[in-house]
Amino acid sequence: MTLWNGSYPFYPGANAGFPFDTTRAVIVTVFLSMLVTFIIILPGIRGRGRLFWFLRLVLGLFVGAVVLTVQFTRDWETGWVQANTSYKSFSHVQVNADIGLHVGLAGLNVTLRGNPVNQINETINYNEHFPWEFGADYDLSYSEGLEKGLPSPILYVAEKFSTQSPCAVHRQYRIAGHYTSLTLWLAFCTWLISILLFSMSIPLYGGHMLLLTAVLILFSLLFFFTTRNTPKCPIHFGPVSLRTDYGESFWLTLATGLLCLLLGLGIIILNSVQPEKLKLIFNLDKSRGEEGVWDKSRLPAEPSCSAQDVLMVPLGELCQVTATQL
């Protein structure tokens, strides 16, 4: 291998990250389109039920969008460090760069961004993804990075999560990501069922399903939390270390789970304490099917009409009623 302009031409160019996550953009676009569509028909709802209907709509779409989006995000655990480090293998050239680690449910991303971006006649702006989801081979992705000649900081961080690394954290992160993803898919299904029950004017059972959604979301966080209890692998760049902490997706999922928990408990408690207010919130005053469910046990027993009662009516009264009707 010969030198070219003082550096080794291992890698033809930087694999910079796309300006935004396309999967997240598609999900957000779909849910925003649904929100705009329902807002258009909002003026057709009369009375105070319009405000409650809008609040239910916004909260329901928010929960569904979050549960679906965090499946594909890569910021469940993040960390950044600024360091002077060697740029490529077999070279003593050092660069000043920001090195980032972003752990998701399906893999991790390693970011390398120079300070400034243009150094040693190159643009230092890398964002490499190493998957460990089902059907993906992490070690194969790492080997392909070696063949392409990725910068040394990226390969150093990615090697810490390989199966051959003495850190032995690959299995914990991979299994935790799989179980977290599975639990979130179950939470998304229970959210759909709760939306269906609410639309069918059955708020009590919808509240139960919303409470189950909250439990599943919190359990998913518990699965991912187990990776934090494993011994951390040190990632040193000279005198500084790259340390990670929970990212935006983790905290957003936690907030969504607590929101579902409060809403589910609120619906169940309100149904037991003040069912009339719950009917007002869900606009059930004019729902015939729901009135039968709610008021059947509370209405006084109506007098039954049988053949004997009809025969026992005096003939005069019957004629009088008949004359009145005519």
- What's the confidence (pLDDT) of residue 167? 85
- What's the confidence (pLDDT) of residue 287? 43
pTM score of the predicted model: 0.78
Residue 197, token pair as written in the block:
């029950």
CA separation (Å) from 125 to 18, 74, 87, 118, 121?
11, 18, 12, 9, 13
- What's the confidence (pLDDT) of residue 28? 84
CA distance 73 to 25: 11
Beta-ladder partners of 113:
98, 125
Measure the N-to-C terminal CA separation of the chain; round to a whole number of Å: 111
- What's the confidence (pLDDT) of residue 285? 60
- What's the confidence (pLDDT) of residue 9? 45
Non-local (6+) Cβ contacts of 180 within 8 A are 105, 220, 221, 223, 224
Which segments in the chain show pLDDT lower than 70? 1-21, 46-49, 285-326
Taking Cα atoms as reference points, which of 219, 108, 118 lies closest to residue 174?
A: 108
- What's the confidence (pLDDT) of residue 55? 87
For the stretch 208-236, pLDDT in tens is 999 999 999 999 999 999 877 777 788 99
